[in-house]
C-alpha cells in the first residue's frame, strides 16, 4: 500500500538528532534543552507519595482541580491576573500538545498563521496538519526582535492567528511592553487569534520583565497562553504543562485535547499541586538562578573567538562563530560534536529562508562544572 505523507518535509527533529550524536560521540550535550541537575527533592517525594497512595487512575480531563487552583493562584501572584480554574485552565501533557490542540481547534483549510523565524519546530507541522499555511516573518538580524511593519504587511484576508514565543527559543529574546501593545493593536484591528508560547516565563534576566498575553485584556480575550511545569521545575521528562484561555477558547481546545491525550498523568499533577502550595516562591527565584548560570558560562568564554549578546531569557545562549569558520552551522554543529565533543543546535534549521549568519544555540541549564568544561572546550576552538 502506498502512503502519501501529510508531512513530507518533516523528519526527526534536530534536538533528537543532535542528542543522539552527542551520546554516540560521548560529547557534552548543550544541544537539547533540559537540565542535568535534579528537580526539587520535595517535588520528587510528593510524586512517589501520591503514586504509592494509589492515585494512579485517570484524572479529570481538564486537570486535577487542586492543580488548577494552584495554577490560578500562581497567575495571580506572578502576573496579577485572575483566572477561573474550572473554565480557563487546562492541564495538558506538555505545552507542545496544548499548542497543537489550540491550532487544531481553530485553524481550517486555507487559513494563514503568522510565525516568526527562527520558529520553534513544532508550530508549522501542526498548522499544516490543520490545513493551514504558516506565513514566515523573520525576526531582525541582530537583536531578534519583531518588525511590526513587516507583520502588518504579511496580513491578508486569510490570516487567522499569530504565534508568539517569549522568552524566545532558540534566540533568548524577550518581548517588551511596546511589542505586546503592537500585537494587541494588530490582533484587534484584524480580529486575529493569538497563540502564545510562554514556557520560559520565569527565566528572564537583567531586570527585564516577562509580559504575558494574559496581562493585556483585549489580548487575553483572543489568546491561548501555554506554560510548562517541565521548564519551571526541571522535570522536562514529566511532560506536563497547561493552557490558559478564555472559556469559549478553552472549550474548543478541550474538544481536541480529549481525543489527543485525554488527560495528563495523575500523580504528577498531584505532586505539582502539593509543591506549588507549599513553596509558592520557588518560581520567582528561577530568574536569578539561571542568570548566574548564563553569566558563569559567558564569563568563561571571554577569551574565546565567539561573539555574543547575553541571552535576555530562556536557558539558551546564541554564540556567533564567524571569526572561526565560514562553514554552515549545520555542518559546524555536527563536526564540533564529533571532533571537539561538544554538541549544540544550528539555528538555520528554524528558518524558512536561512539568512547568512554563523550562529549556534547552547543550553546553559547544566551544572556549573559542565558549563566550565564546555567553555574550556569552546575556548580552544
Residue boundaries of the structural domains of the chain: 14-39+284-380, 41-278
In the chain, pLDDT over 90 holds for what percent of residues?
Answer: 97
Return d(Cα 98, Cα 294) in angstroms, integer: 29
The tens digit of pLDDT for each residue in 80-118 reads 999 999 999 999 999 999 999 999 999 999 999 999 999
In the chain, pLDDT over 70 holds for what percent of residues?
Answer: 100
Q: Which residues contact 150 (CB under 8 A, 6 or more apart)?
A: 137, 138
**137 confidence band (pLDDT: 50, 70, 90):** very high
**2 confidence band (pLDDT: 50, 70, 90):** confident
Q: What are phi and psi of 185, to 5 degrees?
A: -65, -45
Q: Which residues contact 160 (CB under 8 A, 6 or more apart)?
A: 106, 107, 108, 111, 112, 113, 132, 192, 193
Domains 14-39+284-380 and 41-278 share a fold: no
Tell how far CA 371 is from the center of its chain: 22
* Average pLDDT of the chain, as a whole number: 97
CATH number, domain 41-278: 3.40.640.10
> Residue 62: its pLDDT value, please?
98
The tens digit of pLDDT for each residue in 51-87 reads 999 999 999 999 999 999 999 999 999 999 999 999 9
User: Which of helix, strand or coil describes residue 336?
Assistant: helix
Residue 83, C-alpha cell as written in the block: 483566572
- Return the closest-CA partner of residue 274 out of 340, 336, 229, 223: 229
Going by the DSSP 8-state scheme, the letter that residue 134 receives in this structure is E
Q: What angle, rounded to 10 degrees, do the helices at 41-52 and 266-278 form?
A: 140
CB atoms within 10 A of CB 108: 9
Whether this prediction's pTM lies above 0.95 is answered by yes
Pairing of strands 241-244, 193-197: unpaired
Q: Which residue matches cell numbers 534576566?
A: 205
Question: What is the average pLDDT across 211-228?
Answer: 98
User: In sequence order, what are the beta bridge partners of 359?
Assistant: 320
Q: What are phi and psi of 368, to 5 degrees?
A: -60, -40
**142 confidence band (pLDDT: 50, 70, 90):** confident
CA distances in angstroms from 64 to 16, 40, 75, 92, 323, listed in the order given: 31, 21, 17, 11, 52
Q: Which residues contact 142 (CB under 8 A, 6 or more apart)?
A: 309
Each as own residue / partner, the long-range contacts of residues 255-261 (CB below 8 Å, 24 or more positions apart, any chain) are 255/105, 256/100, 256/101, 256/104, 256/105, 257/61, 257/90, 257/92, 257/97, 257/98, 257/101, 258/61, 260/97, 260/100, 260/101, 260/104, 261/92, 261/93, 261/97
Contact call for residues 200 and 313 (beta carbons, < 8 A): yes
Return d(Cα 37, Cα 375) in angstroms, integer: 18
CB atoms within 10 A of CB 323: 10
Task: Identify the architecture of domain 14-39+284-380 in CATH.
Answer: Alpha-Beta Complex (3.90)
Q: Is the pLDDT of residue 241 over 90?
A: yes
Q: Is the pLDDT of residue 190 over 90?
A: yes
Residue 341, C-alpha cell as written in the block: 565533543
Q: Which residue matches cell numbers 521548564?
A: 231
Amino acid at each position: 500500500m502506498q502512503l502519501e505523507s501529510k508531512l513530507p518535509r518533516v523528519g526527526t527533529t534536530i534536538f533528537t538528532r543532535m542528542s543522539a550524536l552527542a551520546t554516540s560521540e560521548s560529547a557534552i550535550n548543550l544541544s537539547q534543552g533540559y537540565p542535568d541537575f535534579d528537580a526539587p527533592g520535595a517535588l520528587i517525594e510528593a510524586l512517589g507519595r501520591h503514586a504509592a497512595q494509589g492515585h494512579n487512575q485517570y484524572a479529570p480531563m481538564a486537570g486535577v482541580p487542586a492543580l488548577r487552583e494552584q495554577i490560578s493562584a500562581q497567575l495571580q501572584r506572578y502576573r496579577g491576573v485572575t483566572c477561573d480554574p474550572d473554565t480557563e485552565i487546562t492541564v495538558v501533557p506538555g505545552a507542545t500538545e496544548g499548542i497543537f490542540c489550540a491550532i487544531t481547534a481553530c485553524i481550517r483549510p486555507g487559513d494563514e498563521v503568522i510565525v516568526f523565524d527562527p520558529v520553534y519546530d513544532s508550530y508549522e507541522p501542526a498548522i499544516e496538519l490543520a490545513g493551514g499555511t504558516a506565513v514566515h516573518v523573520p525576526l531582525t538580524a541582530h537583536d531578534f526582535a519583531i518588525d511590526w511593519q513587516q507583520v502588518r504587511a504579511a496580513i491578508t484576508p486569510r490570516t487567522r492567528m499569530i504565534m508568539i514565543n517569549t522568552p524566545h527559543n532558540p534566540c533568548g529574546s524577550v518581548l517588551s511592553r511596546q511589542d505586546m501593545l503592537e500585537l494587541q493593536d494588530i490582533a484587534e484591528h484584524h480580529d486575529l487569534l493569538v497563540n502564545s508560547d510562554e514556557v520560559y516565563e520565569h527565566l528572564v534576566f537583567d531586570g527585564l520583565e516577562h509580559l504575558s498575553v494574559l496581562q493585556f485584556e483585549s489580548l487575553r480575550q483572543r489568546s491561548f497562553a501555554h506554560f510548562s511545569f517541565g521548564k519551571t521545575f526541571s522535570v522536562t521528562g514529566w511532560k506536563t504543562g497547561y493552557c490558559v484561555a478564555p472559556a469559549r477558547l478553552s472549550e474548543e481546545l478541550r474538544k481536541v485535547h480529549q481525543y489527543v491525550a485525554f488527560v495528563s498523568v495523575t500523580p504528577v499533577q498531584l505532586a505539582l499541586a502539593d509543591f506549588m502550595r507549599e513553596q509558592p516562591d520557588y518560581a520567582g527565584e528561577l530568574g536569578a538562578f539561571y542568570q548566574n548560570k548564563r553569566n558563569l558560562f559567558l564569563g568563561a568564554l571571554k577569551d574565546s573567538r565567539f561573539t555574543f549578546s547575553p541571552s535576555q531569557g530562556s536557558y539558551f545562549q546564541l554564540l556567533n562563530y564567524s571569526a572561526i569558520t565560514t562553514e554552515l552551522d549545520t555542518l559546524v554543529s555536527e563536526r564540533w560534536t564529533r571532533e571537539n565533543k561538544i554538541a549544540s543546535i544550528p539555528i538555520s534549521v528554524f528558518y524558512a529562508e536561512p539568512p547568512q549568519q554563523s550562529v549556534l544555540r547552547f543550553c546553559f541549564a547544566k551544572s556549573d562544572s559542565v558549563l566550565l568544561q564546555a567553555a574550556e572546550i569552546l575556548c580552544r576552538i
